[in-house]
Structure 1
């Protein structure tokens, strides 16, 4: 409790120091006025409000830096100037002495000294949650050992409690901000950062992406050594390379940066749109180019999962945006759960139509998808649309990958590269064996429903005969009822016949790779028969409707 109160005081002091005393005073009206009257630090005179927000976040520590980095994906919530500052947040801190961090090794890996021949006391990288040391296992394998900072879990838990309290207080004090759902944002962030503290999950993510990427040439994901790993220590294969944004070093190694660009972009498209599980933090420090030209992925603390149904919707949305198809885009927005106020839906449709139409006349080489996303984000913010967090995180990943691709290959065009890929994926989705099996299951369910109709009709007639249902009918009603039943029975019989032909033909297509000859020809003959009979049923129904209308006249 005392630690929490002390932390509250530190946060208030930092915010006041950076010129946010008025906001602190409204959130905490009991604080003395003298504590709130201090202006921005002298070094920040002339800084914009967004620059001061960034400086305050960096001073508040790792929890708030991580929170700010995640908020940098929410372009629909904040103005572009603030997003630009949040993107500048640095998650770098001075490294701890090895004598301080070996406490975690002793607690998490008892007897670790027998399994390691050597661990370099100087870290190769240091961040707010952990630092990485180069090591050698007893069998001579060179590894990277990621070790969590002592006490960081307790610090983050305290900060999460304070963040939750602040979000609740903001919603009470500033009701207009409830539309942005501060408590929901903090709740999602709490789940995410707790996952990052579990290095076991980090390792499992790495293994999953390693398996998914195993068939793609030139992509490397480090192997995990579970026998020397735990919740707070992760030991993995050491990968040596240069940052992907170090174009000068890439050229010195004699590598083609355009090839690296293509390789990385294709890998991310495959992760997002095929696997549905992707590396969610593609900043240049997590992507290394090896001397042999392979691209290595590092740090899997942030990975994102897209269910197959959500993935299919997202693919449709991106396809709608890059082809400037308003109807597809709007339907995808709706399917993703975008919450647009009823009274503003038509205005939103108009603005989206204008946005996409502005880009529809561009040549492919002129089309800038990143600008579409920025303008779309500003439009969402204008209408205060509640957007699923996964959507904006996806957009951020695509944006970061596109920026890296452009850095390596200035001739890279997102639209030209992604459109054929999307069309190929969509074609595979609609005509894959799984899709056909799904349609067959749907057809069988429909047939079962149709087969239940006679029983339901008989049950209803039996109840009428038993007097359980009272109806008043006349002779004409009986005649029309009989005609209706006869027509329905005929149509149901023909419909069952067509459905059986379609299902049988589909099964033949699936079996076309077997030893049965001419399966494909038989299947397409069946489809042709079904189409002809279907046209006959439709024409007959139209003719009967016209005759019925003529009789009524």
Structure 2
């Protein structure tokens, strides 16, 4: 990270940088910098009087982030999910972050709204409330009614946000890269990875069309659950700066008197809401990332509505398999499987394995018995990661935060709620689907194709190696530390390749010939049964994790 590059960034965004430094100086960052190992910069901070003078370090950080605007509010919200990095007093304070600001006057945004809907407000809507229902630093929401009598909400993005957000992201990204160089101890926090996550989150939140797509995707994924309601999107009037969607008139789950008046069945609502959320996360791979009571509604017939898809999380297939394995490990009381997953997620650099395994054994002993308190278990898990200096990937941190929030809502509906009772059948069904013979064979076939491609490249690689040897251009750099472990890894990889080649050769070459020999068992030659068993054993061994 050169001084020239730092200077160029500072010159390009000098106005925004001055604003940020002014806020940092006004709220004071002495304690904050000390907590993250940057106390050397604290001398430049001078706190003024007022509210900041009486506030502790976490509250001062929250107040500063709120004043700095949407990018920093979103950064704080992301950090509030990182219980693996920050202690509870910091995450609890960051959870209070609010982006509520005064709404823009209707006269200031009417032209933009009419440009986006392609006509006058009176031509599209039977009625339109010019007083904002809610307002944030990115958008404000208005109630309206379409000509056919449908109640809708209209979400309008504020103007002038993109240049501000782009400048913030440039400055923060450069600061993260600079911090990793100047303070190597910060590397475990993965600041650049957090900033990449922030950039993706801001890009999606600024694009209201993306929110509409998320809403429609979740609605399609949960279409078979008739007890789940997702707002309908009106695509003809929805774009990057404007979102028109159905208004859901229901009861907030934390409104006790209204829930009682509506005669809602709390345990049933909790079970249905959890089933939908776990389906989103573990099976579909896209989930509502902010399921607090304001974004959930109880409807007639004890249906559950999810609203506001401005914040969603995504999980790839591999990550979902790992989460299924984690749930299974907790249920089975397998501490070593929990430790293996935690090391895989974090990289496990420098971890004391014996101490970590002991902690994981204690973890499953505490949470393995029913009823499982999901929020407590996840909180305990991220605390264990933080105590062992293991940082979790951002997608998992967001999911865990959402699960803790959802679990709190469900326990408000049913104090005896047992998440495992809902999760176990879903986990079992998904595991059976993933490891059904057809799925296993598909993965084995893909592996065989990969090995075939490797075999075709091997002659060229050998010729290149021989040429380099003749030219005397082979060089190597060997680090003896950890050589025994490297040797074990090489032996393991070689064994897997050998088993894969033998299994593939058996399946493609020998197995078809076995149709012609031996006595019949259920109409199939006995040697073929044995051959299929060998192939199945080889495939199962290949997909099993290393023990």
The normalised TM-score by structure 1 is 0.75
Q: How far apart, CA to CA, are the structure 2 residues paired with 1:503 and 1:204?
A: 52
Using the TM superposition, give the Cα deviation of residue 206 of structure 1 relative to its aligned residue in structure 2, in angstroms.
1.0
Give SS of 1:243's match: coil
Instruction: Please say if 1:438 is aligned against 2:446.
Output: no
Deviates more, 1:167-176 or 1:187-196: 167-176
Aligned partner of residue 423 in structure 2, secondary structure: helix
2:161 aligned to 133, 152, 165, which one? 152
CA distance in 2, matches of 1:52, 1:443: 54
Secondary structure of the 1:139 match is: coil
Alpha-carbon shift at residue 21 of structure 1 (Å): 5.7
Pair 1:405–1:315, CA change in 2 (3 A):
same
* Matched residue SS, 1:396: helix
**Preserved contact between residue 434 and residue 440 of structure 2 (Cα < 8 Å):** no
2:227 is matched with: 218
Contact kept, 8 Å, 1:73 with 1:393, in 2: the verdict is yes
Map 1:520-535 to 2 at 5 A. Answer: 529-530=530-531
- Alignment partner, residue 517 of structure 1: none
Secondary structure of the residue that 2:323 maps to in structure 1? helix
Deviations 1:248-275 (A, max 9, x none): 3112111111111111100011111121
Partners of 1:533 and 1:177 in 2: CA distance: 49
Shift of 1:3: 9.3
Which sections of structure 1, spanning at least 5 residues, go unmatched? Answer: 457-490, 505-519, 535-553
TM-score (norm 2): 0.76
Partner residue, 2:376: 371
Are the aligned partners of 2:275 and 2:423 in contact in 1 as well (CA < 8 Å)? no
Give the SS at the match of 1:242: coil
Q: Which residue of 2 aligns with 1:162?
A: 171
Once the 2 structures are TM-superposed, how far is the Cα of residue 445 of structure 1 from its aligned partner?
5.8
Structure 1 counterpart of 2:97, from 77, 81, 89: 89
Shift of 1:283: 2.0
Residue equivalent to 1:415 = 420
- Residues 117 and 493 (structure 1 numbering): CA distance in 2 closer, same or farther, change over 3 Å? closer
Give the 3-state SS of the residue equivalent to 2:127 in structure 1.
strand
CA contact (8 A) 1:502 1:526 kept: yes
After the TM superposition, which residues 289-308 of structure 1 pair with which residues of structure 2 at under 5 Å, given as runs? 289-308=298-317
Partner of 1:340: 348
1:418-476 Cα offsets, whole Å, 9 max, x none, are 2343223212221274x155167369769989x99xxx9xxxxxxxxxxxxxxxxxxxx
Higher alpha-carbon Rg: 1
* Residue correspondences, number: 475
Is 2:50 aligned against 1:42? yes
1:267 aligns with 2:276: yes
Q: Distance in 2 between matches of 1:163 and 1:278?
A: 27
Query: How large is the Cα RMSD of the aligned pairs?
Result: 3.8
Q: Distance in 1 between matches of 2:79 and 2:59?
A: 15
* Gap change, CA 1:185 and 1:440, over 3 Å in 2: closer
| Residue of 125, 130, 137 corresponding to 1:116 | 125
Contact between 1:313 and 1:335, CA under 8 Å: does it hold in 2? Answer: no
1:388-434, CA deviations, whole angstroms, 9 ceiling, x for partnerless residues?
Answer: 2111112112221111111111001233432343223212221274x
Question: For residues 41 and 93 of structure 2, what CA distance do their matches in structure 1 show?
Answer: 31
Label 1:524 to 1:247 Cα distance change in 2 as closer, same or farther (>3 A). Answer: farther
* Residue 200 (structure 1) shift: 1.1
Q: 1:502 to 1:447 in 2, by over 3 A?
A: farther
Aligned mates of 1:225, 1:147 — CA distance in 2? 14
SS of 1:289's equivalent in the other structure is strand
Indicate if the aligned counterparts of 1:164 and 1:183 stay in contact, CA closer than 8 A: yes
Q: 2:375 and 2:244 mapped to 1: Cα distance?
A: 37
- Tell me the equivalent position of 1:61: 69
1:202 — aligned with what?
211
Is residue 330–residue 367 contact of structure 2 (8 Å, CA) maintained in 1?
Answer: no
8 Å CA contact 1:15, 1:24 repeated in 2? no
| Deviation at residue 4 of structure 1 after TM alignment | 3.7
- Structure-to-structure mapping, 1:468-507, within 5 angstroms: 499-500=511-512
| Contact preservation (8 Å) 1:112, 1:228 | no
Distance 2:451 2:29 in 1: 66
Question: Paired residue for 1:101, among 85, 96, 109?
Answer: 109
After superposition, the C-alpha distances for 1:65-104 in whole angstroms (9 at most, x for unaligned) are 1111111111111111111111121232222221122232
Q: Distance in 1 between matches of 2:280 and 2:41?
A: 51
String of CA shifts for 1:470-516, please: whole Å, max 9, x gaps: xxxxxxxxxxxxxxxxxxxxx99987787449999xxxxxxxxxxxx
Q: Provide the C-alpha distance between the structure 2 equivalents of 1:244 and 1:525, rounded to a whole number of angstroms.
A: 61
DSSP-derived class of the 2:435 partner: helix
Deviation readout 1:209-267 (Å, 9 max, x if unpaired):
11111100211111111111111001111211122322331121111111111111000
Change (3 A) 1:256 1:527: farther
Q: Which residue of 1 aligns with 2:80?
A: 72
After superposition, the Cα gap between the structure-2 partners of 1:523 and 1:240, relative to the gap in structure 1 and judged at 3 Å, is farther
Q: Distance in 2 between matches of 1:70 and 1:447?
A: 41
Q: Which runs of 5+ in 2 are unaligned?
A: 1-9, 460-502, 536-547
Aligned with residue 326 of structure 2, among 303, 317, 321 = 317
Shift of 1:146: 0.9
Tell me: CA distance 1:172–1:354, structure 2 relative to 1, closer, same or farther (3 Å).
Answer: closer
- 2:417 match: secondary structure: coil
**SS, match of residue 177 in structure 1:** helix
Deviations along 1:502-537, one digit per CA (max 9) or x if unpaired, are: 999xxxxxxxxxxxxxxx965798875547999xxx
